[in-house]
Amino acid sequence: MLTNTRSDEHIYIYSGDLPENVYAPWLQTSRAETISILVDDDSQLGWLDPIREKRGNSLTVQTTGHARPNHFLCTTGGFFRYETDPNTFTAEANFNEPAVVQRLIKAHQGYAQTS
Q: How many domains does the chain have?
A: 1
Looking up residue 56, the CATH number of its domain turns out to be 3.30.870.10
Which residues of the chain are modeled with pLDDT < 50? none
Structure confidence by residue, pLDDT tens digits, 12-31: 999 888 889 989 998 999 99
Which amino acid is it at 1? M
Residue 25 lies in domain: 2-113
